[in-house]
Structure 1
Amino acid sequence: MGLIRAAMGAAGGVMADQWKEYFYCEAMPADLLATRGWKRQSGRSANTKGSDNIITNGSIVAVADGQCAMIVEQGKVVDICAEPGEYTYDTGSAPSLFSGDLSDSIGAVFQNIGKRFTFGGEAPMDQRIYYFNTKELVGNKYGTPSPVPFRVV
């Protein structure tokens, strides 16, 4: 029974992670150095069962003025974007039927299902987006301690 459950979990998880996401960070206050990026989800979204730490190929990462986005996979920095605007994420590690050539994507999705099956149906990777505040840190002078305690959320 465990094999059937793992197969169903792997197939269901991969299919739930097919949707492209939109990652963003709200305006960062002056005392915040870094925070995690979040998926935009509303009540209308069909993407309610996707994994929290999987970034699907073709997803959008929005970078505001005064911010830098860093994408981390398995603890390793895989990409950095410091220019304001929208960035399209595509590394091939989380294939989607909704991006790229359909015939190539179908094969990659089935490979992903097989990989997840060997991990009991769970995603065998961890991907996250962190945003860093690149605005001038007021009151931070060389050689003197800052009067403002900086936070990392």
Structure 2
Amino acid sequence: MGLIRAAMGAAGGVMADQWKEYFYCEAMPADLLATRGWKRQSGRSANTKGNDNIISNGSIVAVADGQCAMIVEQGKVVDMCAEPGEYTYDTGSAPTLFSGDLSDSIGAVFQNIGKRFTFGGEAPMDQRIYYFNTKELVGNKYGTPSPVPFRVVDQRAGIDIDIAIRCFGEYSYRITNPILFYTNVCGNVEEGYTRDEIDGQLKSEL
């Protein structure tokens, strides 16, 4: 029974992942630095049983102004697109009957079924799309929590006094290297990575 169930799960999973997907990201608010991209689905869609972590060959990734899309496969960054427009994903790791030569695609699909069968019917891969906010993030207020002691010494003018300095204002920043930000700061985020998770560190260092 286990082998039959694995075979049916492998075949059903591969067929469910045959559809090409359209990945997008809604307008990113100013407090959102990174978020996961999701495939578009509506009531008219027949693509309702596909794996969320499988990107079929030929799928479209839409990138808007001020955004950068990053594709992570098996935990490793494999591609990135920061130019506005649409990007076609095609690496051969998730073959589909709707992309490429039909005879080659059929053979690749059956190979994929056999591979999934050895893993109990589950897909032995994980592919995700992350979007990063590359716009300049303004309006970040800062200030010293308490006066900073400072000594002023000028022997020529005969000045030797202790004073306390306070400072406050606003600063801006933006993500210029999404790969570095992903690997060192946010990592795999389930929903989104917001600026309040990093603002405390930025203000302290400033």
Q: TM-score, normalised by structure 1?
A: 0.91
Greater than 2 Å deviation, 4+ residue runs: 139-153
Tell me if the contact between 1:33 and 1:151 (Cα under 8 Å) persists in the aligned partners. no
**Identity percentage of aligned residues:** 97
Tell me if the contact between 1:13 and 1:50 (Cα under 8 Å) persists in the aligned partners. yes
Tell me if the contact between 1:34 and 1:152 (Cα under 8 Å) persists in the aligned partners. no
Task: Report the number of matched residues.
Answer: 153
Instruction: After superposition, give the CA deviation of every residue in 1:59-90 in whole Å (9 maximum; x if it has no partner).
Output: 00000000000000011001000000010000
CA gap 1:40/1:151 in 2 versus in 1, 3 angstroms: farther
CA gap 1:134/1:117 in 2 versus in 1, 3 angstroms: same
CA gap 1:64/1:117 in 2 versus in 1, 3 angstroms: same
Greater strand fraction, Structure 1 or Structure 2:
2
Instruction: After superposition, give the CA deviation of every residue in 1:74-125 in whole Å (9 maximum; x if it has no partner).
Output: 1100100000001000000000000000011011001100000001000100
Tell me if the contact between 1:63 and 1:82 (Cα under 8 Å) persists in the aligned partners. yes
Max radius of gyration: which structure?
2
Q: TM-score, normalised by structure 2?
A: 0.68
**Cα distance between partner residues in 2 of 1:150 and 1:57:** 62
CA gap 1:140/1:61 in 2 versus in 1, 3 angstroms: same
Q: Which runs of 5+ in 2 are unaligned?
A: 154-206
* Structure 1 position 139, deviation (Å): 3.5
**Cα distance between partner residues in 2 of 1:16 and 1:110:** 14
CA gap 1:148/1:117 in 2 versus in 1, 3 angstroms: farther
Q: Which runs of 5+ in 1 are unaligned?
A: none
Tell me if the contact between 1:32 and 1:152 (Cα under 8 Å) persists in the aligned partners. no
**Cα distance between partner residues in 1 of 2:146 and 2:131:** 22
CA gap 1:53/1:137 in 2 versus in 1, 3 angstroms: same
Q: Tell me what 1:36 maps to.
A: 36
